[in-house]
Structure formats: structure tokens, C-alpha cells
Structure 1
Amino acid sequence: MKTYALWLVGIVMSCLLFSCGDHRHRSMHAPQVAEAEPYYNEPSNTEEYDKIKENIFHNPLHKPLSTFSIDVDAASYSNLRRMLNNGQKPHKDVVRIEEMINYFDYEYPNPQGEHPFSITTEMAPAPWNEKHQLVHIGLQGKKLDYDNLQACNLVFLLDVSGSMSDTNKLPLLKSSLKLLVDQLSEKDRVAIVVYAGAAGEVLPSTPASEKEKIFAALDQLQAGGSTAGGDGIELAYKIAKKNLIENGNNRVILATDGDFNVGTSSTAALVDMIEEKRKDGIYLTITGLGMGNYKDGRMEQISNAGNGNYFYIDNFKEAKKVFVTEMRATLFTIAKDVKIQVEFNPNKVQAYRLIGYENRMLKDEDFNDDKKDAGELGAGHTVTALYEIIPVGVESEFLKKVDDLKYQKTEATQVSDSDELLTVKFRYKKPEEDKSRLIVQTLKDKPLSLDKTSDNFRFSAAVAQFGLLLRDSEFKAQASYSNVLQLARGAKGEDKEGYRTEFIQLVQASEMLVVKK
């Protein structure tokens, strides 16, 4: 603890001595993300997070469908973990509950048959509101076939501007990328592009077997200058396209604190650029680093636009998780444009609410539109979504009265007399195809008691409840830290990597922080 405190003091002092003036100068001219706000009021902190308007309860007679894109990003969890470990309570817009849930792996059945993922559903009382039900939907992607891996064409696009000089930025990044290079095979290739005041190619596309050459290129990188992120993205995609591997895995890996302030720098312009580039079959992974001027909202939007994933690295342990434990699977997409649409039976459901995914909501008509972009699923990845349900006949403070319609009659059909609670539909495309495939599955109105549910159900419910507390959600009801801890401890499972144990420790630290304040 003492060593950590000394390290933190050293970082703060070095920022004050060498970086503070530069950061203040840039913050005056940096473009603002739409709907983004600094998470601190302090002038030295210009971190920005997109505003989250929490999903509300809907009456299925008036809104029978809930449609959204899957999300396997995990940046929100590791970012808020950084804040909590530093004794800071995260602003509510830092907390994206779906990313907290999907940070963890879940043991769903491996897929069988023609589809590249399996689907699991469960239902039990919501731990924070026993009058409500909680529906759990889980996807399990097909695992990697290591004997038949596609070749990788990777372009590392690295921010080396002055804001990246801190120990937890460029130095941590260089160590992290070396971990990834160590995992690559001789048929894979790596190029390195950097950007500061201007963008440039540091290493042309090089066989991954020439590790010493790649490491030497990384070692020579130093931080300094302003941030021409748009130019860097243009150059990285150009190099990726030049070295495109047909039927291979072509990807740009962008690492930055998100502070783009030279050239194409507005979030909208960058999103438009990335949406255009993805047509070439080149995917995007974004890795966020650092604190103080971190631009989370910008990076999330860019990642969503680029058929990509978004991670945040707060320490070397997280770097190993991202670049060693998970990156090989992340690099290999098994399904793209994965959409979920759920229809609720109004004879069983008074109201429903999707927990999280606010930035991934789609229009109902987007579900059948194959031109509409959605999330990607990597090999072996899991995706989890939770709905909170208010059953018919239950009184709830969250039920809002809507006047009867004047020109049409809204009522349930005869089909709704069945014992089905809901129908869940999935659309996805195989990576090489443009036409989607449909999977349909129903869930019966047969809830389990909470103690009979799987570890997957209870642990994801614990994480969701923790998110409700951190957001101080209007829907938190009887949520409590003690309930979160009880659920999580009882659903820890094997926990080979220790991530669930770490979560329990984080909840304990967070509870102490709240009590202290």
C-alpha cells in the first residue's frame, strides 16, 4: 500500500512538473464530444464520457419489441475499477452496466450444429426487487480451432503525442504489445504507425516471426507533440489495405488516451471515416489508456463504428488479460452484425426493462435490415443481457399510466394465451457473408428460485446490481452492497484467472468508500 501511494505521488508530481501546462493548453482547443461532460469539475481533469440516459420500463402493449446490438466491449469495467482503486467514486456516466457484465466469462454450453454460438435463457426473481423477475440471455461463441487459424494482418496505430508520456500510457502500451506479438505465428504480419503532430509509418508490414525487429521498433517510440489522430487512422487503414490478406484477419489496433486535436478530430467526422473504412473488411480494436484527459465517449463511438472492440488497460495485469488471454479470440470474428430482438407476451408481462445497452439500442425495423451495422462476436466470446420484468398483477412504482388510444384498440392476441413469457430472435451474418441468418427461441413463464439458478445467472445479477448502485439508478430498489457480495461469493465458480475474486474485493472497497463519504 505504501509503495503504491509513493508511486501515485510520483505520477502526480511528474504530471504537475512536466505535463500540466501542456494539458491545459490542449484542453482549451480540444473538440467536445456530443453529450459528453468532464467527469471532474477540477480544471486539470478533462476526462469525457457520453451521457447515458438509462433504459426505462415499457408496456408491451404499447412497445412490444426491444431491439439492440450485442456488445462485448469491457472498457467501462476496467476504467471504473481504476477510479475505485484510486479512492474515487465514478460519475454515473462512466458506468455502462452491459460492459461490466460482459467483462467476465460465463460457462455457457458450447454451440452444436450449424450456428456459431449457443443460446441460454434463465429466469428468477430480481435480487434487488423480489416482486420483479430477472431474465438472463447468454450467447456462447464457438471456440478457436487452433489447427486452422487464419493469418493476421495487423497494423498497430499508436498515439505518441505528449499526453501519452505518463508511465501508465506509452510505457505500459509498449510492454502490452510485446505480449501480443509473442502470441502471433510466423504467418502473421505486423506494421506500426504512429501519430503525434503528424502521422508516420515506423515499421512496414513485417512477419511476426521477426520479433526482435518489431520489439526494437516499439522500444524506440517516445511521446511528444500534439495529436493528429485522424491522419493516423487514414494511414493505418491504407497500410492495412495494401497488405490485405484475402480470407484472413485484417485489423487496425488503435491505442490512445483519445485526445485527438489535430486534423480530422471531431467525433462525428472520425465515426464517418471509420464507417467508410470498414467496407474494406478491416476491423478495428481500440485500447484506451491513462487518466486525466481520457476521452472515453469518443473511443466508444469510433469502436462501435468500426466493427470493433474497445478495451481499457489500467495496469499490467489487465494488459495480459486483453493481449494474451483474450486477444487471439478477439482477432477472429465468427459472427458479425449480431442483433437481438425480444417480443414480450402482454398476458404475462406488464412491463420490461433492458439493463444497460443504452448506446447499443436499435430501431425495431433495423432488426431485419441487413444494411444496418451491429456488433461482432469473437471466437469463444460470451455475451450476456439481462431484462427486468414486472409480471402481470404486480403493483410497482415504476408502472406509468398511459391514456387509452383514440383511433385504435391495443390488445393481446389469442397466441398470447400460451405459457410463453417472451420470444427472443437473433440475427447474425457469417464474416464472409452479407445476408443474415435468423435464430428464434422462446422462454416459458417458469421462473426458478434464485438459489436454483446457475452461477452465470447469479454472478451477472451481482454485477448488474453493483452497476445500479454505482449509477445511483432510480431502478435500484432494495439493491445493497451486502446483497451484491452475498450473490457474487456464492457464484464465484472456478475463477481460474481470479477476476471474480477481484470483483468481490472491488465491491468491498467501493462500499467502504461510500460509507466514508
Structure 2
Amino acid sequence: MMKKLVFVYMLCVSLLLTACSSNDPYGYEPIYDYMPVSNETYAEITENPFIQTGDMPVSTFSTDVDTASYANIRRMLGYGDLPVKDAVRIEEMINYFDYDLDAPVDQDINVITELSKAPWNENHDLFMVALKAKELSFEESNGMNLVFLIDVSGSMSESNKLPLLKEALYLLIENLRPTDRISLVAYAGSARVILDGGDDQDEIKDAIRQLTAGGSTAGASGIELAYQVAQNNFIEGGNNRIILASDGDFNVGMSDVEALEEFISEKKETGVFLSVLGFGTGNLRDDVMESLADHGNGVYFYIDSIKEAEKVFLHQLSATMMTVAKDVKLQIEFNPAHVYAYRLIGYENRVLEYDDFEDDAKDAGDMGSGHVVIAFYEIIRTDSSEEVESLEFDEIEALRYNGENYLDEFSMISIRYKDPEGETSKLIESKTYMTSYTENPSETFVFASSVVEFGLLLRDSEYKHDASYDHVIERAELALGVDEFGYRTEFIELVETASAISLRD
């Protein structure tokens, strides 16, 4: 009976917040009374398992600065349902937020590590690896050549789709510089250029007003036309990028997704990258959007509100446009003297083979100006009685640790990346020592790990152990920090909403 009363109370609060969404400082205003996800598609995620260091002491993966998953989760919770399990990508949830980390002093990327207790399992440790890219001046950077490839089919007419995109574009052009160029290519029954290399704000605003939704989505030459426009306005040394905006039910001229991915991969070699903006509910092809952005050396965002549009268009796009390091890969060797087993949390579709690390032909994620990438490993120490299933890996000959040497070290972290115009990777190495373990982790560690715990709960992970919504809220409240835009406060509200829904279900 008490459980039911608690649920009713929390759900009423949640519904009250939704009912008052027109006055909500975060600008969330659902247009449906339910969450139609039947036509949405998500790539299946199989969680990374624990791996014995005796089987494979080295973990290799690519960076990821996409944030779409978090905004999409927020959208689903706003409709009163827990998110689709495969929509929850924990790495994107972590990296949605800003973190106060030291910028690099004499190199392009700073490596920060922390080791503490795993908040959801007192028998495990949690190891944080954070990368912070150097910050560049947007005003002093080379010009941007942005081509927006916009889905204007009939399904885009809803208020949280094309109208929201147009509002976002108005925000963007307020910050344009004389060196920047904006093009608009619309596709539906056919593809057409609305604006070609515009640099005058009034001209761009007039072109935006012309965007209207209607017709079927069958733009036979949309993607080719967008790249042609980008090439015609190419800025040498600048940021040349196509930004595909759609609700996901799109056909931009390729017969299948694989052909489209291959085409985009080829075009990025010309210096024209592709990012993706997802909108709306019901048709979202999240798996395809994420894949296209990956193949285009771009970023995938999901825009669910004008508040998110402000975050992306005013604060994030400019950073992604100024690449500091491309093809960024991490390789971490754990010392078997201290680590019995480890598990990389998230990054399932970014895991690489051991040999990929030194292969400069292997594509990986990029980091822009001031970008932060955080990853967590759950650790089982060697003095634990816990057993982990043995897995088979190819044997590695050149290892730093043999279980008897460097006993003061916990791990060796290696980072490989290329300069924006470079083809040969650079190497950064950083050691973590056993003495770095702390019972009082930083604000960044506490908040980011609370996001991880929330993700484990939303995924109903087999590794969630003692994770709970109350615990997430308790720890997040202790690590709000400055919270200039209220994103961390909003996170706590989302956890409260998810908790209420879970009681109902």
C-alpha cells in the first residue's frame, strides 16, 4: 500500500511538471499523449562483459562525443515511459554534460584519471579516464561552410520537427562571422537548393522562412546535391560540413543504408564531413543516424526542444567544427598485480581490436575545441574471491606488466590521435599509480558516475548490482557544481521521473 501511495505522489508531481511545460525553463512540451515508438529503430547493444586481465589485460576503444542518446531518453521519459533499452547509450549520457577539467598546457589533449569505490557495488572499484582537448578561439578559427540538408517531407510538419529546426537555425545565424557560409538544400519529392553559400543574415533568414513541409520523402539526389553545394563553397583550411536534419524516415538518394554509408565515407576524404540532427517521435531511425554521423566524421545530436537547440547550436556545434584531434583512440593496459578483471561501461560500438590502435588507417572519433570525453571501467581487484568467466583472445607479446613488475602502477594509458590535417598519429602516454586511489572523489567523478548508475538502471543492466534511483539522486545532488544552464538540476528531475515510472511498472 505504501509503495502505491509513493508512486501516486511521484507520478502526480511528474504529470504536474508536464502539464506546466509551457512555463518550464527547459522548454519541453510533448505533443503526444503517448509515446509512439513502433516505427523507431535502434541498434542492439550487448553490454561489455568483465574481462580477466589474465585473458586480455589491454582494452582499446575510440572516443565518442555524440549526445543524442541523452536527449532522446529525456523525450521518452517526458511521455511517461522508460526508454527503449537499446536507446540508452551510457557513454553519450556521460558526455552530454560539461565538466570542469584542467585543459592541456603543452599538448593537444590532457589525460585525467581517478580511482575510487564503485558506488553501486562496494566490492568493486571504479576507474575514470577523462580526456580534455585544448580550447581554440572560435573568433580566430577559419570560416565555416555549412550545408544543411533538410527533410521537408510531410512528416516534418509537426511542431517538434521542421518548425523547431527553423527556430534553431535562427539561433545559429546570430553568431555567424563574415567568413562563414550557410547553404540550405531541401529534399522531399525532389531536391532543391534554397540557399547557396549565403553570408548575409537577412538573406539567410529569408531562405529559412521558405522551408515548408509537404509531400513524400524521396529526394532522389538530395545527398549528391548537398555535397556538390559544399564543394562549390569549399573553404580551404576551414570547416566544410553537411548537416543532415530529419525525423529519420528519409531517403536522400541511395538505394540502401550501406551504399549511403560508403558514399559518405568516401566524401569525408575530400574534406567534407557530415553530422546529423534527429527530430521528432515515431519515425526516428536512431541506428541509421548514428551510423551516418560516424561514417561522416561527424556528431549525432537529437533535438527535442528549443532548450536543446540552444545547447547544440549555440554551444556545441562551434566546438565540433574546430577539430583539435582526429581519429582519437585509447588503449589501457591494466596491471594484473592489482586488477583481476575489468569492464568498460558503455562504448559498445566503439570497441576496437588491439592492433587497431597503431593502425593509422583505422577510423576513430574526433575531438573538437574544449571537448571532454569520459569513460569508466568497473574493476575487480586481485584480492577478490569473485570469479569471472574466462574468454579467448589473441595473445599479446609486448606488454608492460607481467604481474611482478611496476607494482606501484595501476595502469598505463596510451592515446593516439592525428592533427586535423595530419595522416600520421601522435602518441600520449600516462600512468595511474596505486596511491591515486581516493575515498573522496572529485565532483566530476561523483556526477559522471551518477549518470552511469542511472544508465545501468534504465538498461536494467545485469551489472547494476545495488544501483538505485535514490542513490543516483543523492550523489548527483552533492555534485551539482555551478550548473550554469541547469542541465544537472534537470538530470535529477529526470531521475525522479524515471523512479516514479519504475514504481508504476
Q: Distance in 2 between matches of 1:327 and 1:464?
A: 25
SS in 2 for 1:73: coil
Question: Once the two structures are superposed, what CA deviation does each residue of 1:438-469 show, in whole Å capped at 9, x if it has no partner?
Answer: 0011111235344x111000111000000000
Partner of 2:486: 498
Query: CA separation of 1:79/1:8 partners in 2, compared to 1, >3 Å: closer, same or farther?
Result: closer
Q: Residue 69 of structure 1 aligns with which residue?
A: 62
CA distance in structure 2 between the aligned counterparts of 1:2 and 1:339, rounded to whole angstroms: 45
Aligned partner (choices 131, 144, 158) of residue 123 of structure 2: 131
Are 2:135 and 1:118 aligned? no
Go from structure 1 to structure 2 and tell me whether the alpha carbon gap of 1:71 and 1:423 turns closer, same or farther (over 3 Å shift): same
Q: Secondary structure at the match of 1:183?
A: coil
Q: Do 1:429 and 1:437's aligned partners in 2 also have CA atoms closer than 8 Å?
A: yes
The residue type paired with residue 488 of structure 1 is: A
Letter of the structure 1 residue corresponding to residue 326 of structure 2: K
Give me the whole-angstrom Cα distance separating, in 2, the residues matched to 1:230 and 1:434.
Answer: 34
Could you tell me how far 1:363 is from its partner in structure 2?
Answer: 1.3
In structure 2, distance between residues paired with 1:499 and 1:322? 13
Of 387, 393, 396, the residue aligned with 2:383 is 393
> What TM-score, normalized to structure 2?
0.91
Among candidates 340, 365, 372, match of residue 375 of structure 1: 365
Q: Which residue pairs with 2:433 in the alignment? A: 444
Matched residues in 1 for 2:384 and 2:347: separation? Answer: 26
Q: CA deviation at 1:496?
A: 0.8
Asked whether the equivalents of residues 78 and 314 of structure 1 are also in contact (C-alpha less than 8 Å), the reply is yes
Q: Quick check: 2:416–2:428 contact (8 Å CA) kept in 1?
A: yes
Query: Aligned equivalents of 1:10 and 1:434: distance in 2?
Result: 46
Q: Aligned pair in 2 of structure 1 residues 503, 268: CA closer, same or farther (>3 Å)?
A: same
Contact kept, 8 Å, 1:156 with 1:191, in 2: the verdict is: yes
- Structure 1: segments with no counterpart, 5+ residues: 16-39
- Given candidates 331, 334, 353, the residue that maps to 1:344 is 334
Secondary structure of the residue that 2:221 maps to in structure 1?
helix
- 1:227-246 matched pairs, under 5 angstroms: 227-228=217-218, 231-246=221-236
What is the RMSD of the two structures over their aligned residues, measured on CA atoms?
2.5
Distance 2:481 2:393 in 1: 49
Matched, 1:170 2:194: no
Which residue number corresponds to residue 316 of structure 1? 306
How many Å separate the matches in 2 of 1:335 and 1:404? Answer: 30
Specify the SS of the correspondent of 1:308: coil
Change (3 A) 1:9 1:446: closer
Matching residue within 42, 50, 53 for 1:49: 42
**How much does 1:231 deviate?**
2.7
**CA separation of 1:12 and 1:495: change in aligned 2, threshold 3 A:** closer
Q: Does 1:434 align with 2:423?
A: yes
Q: Which amino acid aligns with 2:469?
A: Y
Q: What is the DSSP-based 3-state SS (H/G/I as helix, E as strand, rest coil) of the residue aligned with 1:124?
A: strand
Instruction: Tell me the residue number matched to 1:103.
Output: 96
Q: CA deviation at 1:64?
A: 1.8
Aligned CA distance change for structure 1 residues 414 and 54 (closer, same or farther; 3 Å): closer
Selected match of 2:261 from 261, 271, 277: 271
Q: Which moved more, 1:225-234 or 1:131-140?
A: 225-234
Q: How many angstroms apart in 1 are the aligned matches of 2:192 and 2:66? A: 28
Matched AA of 1:2: A
Measured in 1, the distance between the counterparts of 2:91 and 2:115 equals 18
The reply on whether 1:420 has 2:392 as its aligned counterpart is no
2:499 matched residue in structure 1:
511
Q: Give the deviation of 1:355 after TM superposition.
A: 0.4
Residue identity opposite 2:193 in structure 1: E
Question: Structure 1 residue 4: deviation in Å?
Answer: 4.6
Change in CA separation of 1:262 and 1:213 when aligned onto 2, cut-off 3 Å: closer
Q: Measure, in 1, the Cα distance between the counterparts of 2:56 and 2:142.
A: 43
Give the direction of change, closer, same or farther, for the CA distance of 1:448–1:262 in structure 2 (3 Å limit): closer
Alignment of 1:6-17 (within 5 A): 11-12=31-32
Q: Which residue of 1 aligns with 2:473?
A: 485
Is the 1:427–1:439 contact (alpha carbons within 8 Å) kept by the matching residues of 2? yes
Find the counterpart in structure 2 of residue 2 from structure 1. 19
Aligned residues: 482
Amino acid at match of 2:140: N
**Matches of 2:253 and 2:242 in 1, distance apart?**
19
Distance across 1 between alignment mates of 2:353 and 2:246: 32
Deviation per residue, 1:258-287 (Å, 9 max, x gap): 212464152211111110010011122211
Contact 1:236 1:252 in 2 (8 A): yes
Q: Deviations over 1:30-68 (max 9, x none)?
A: xxxxxxxxxx8x7x7301101001100001121122111
Structure 2 unaligned residues grouped into runs of 5+? 1-17
Asked if the contact 1:69/1:340 (under 8 Å) is kept, the reply is yes
- 1:438-477 equivalences in 2 (<5 Å): 438-446=427-435, 448-450=437-439, 452-477=440-465
- Partner SS for 2:213: coil
Residues 222 and 252 in structure 2, CA contact (< 8 A), matched pair in contact too: no
Q: Secondary structure at the match of 1:507?
A: helix
Residue of structure 2 in register with 1:185 after alignment = 177
Of 71, 82, 85 in structure 2, the residue corresponding to residue 89 of structure 1 is 82
Q: Which residues in structure 2 correspond to 1:241-252 (within 5 Å)?
A: 241-252=231-242
- 1:24 maps to which residue? none
- 1:133 Cα offset (Å): 0.8
Amino acid at match of 1:420: E
Q: 1:496 to 1:266 in 2, by over 3 A?
A: same
* Displacement after TM superposition at 1:163 (Å): 1.6
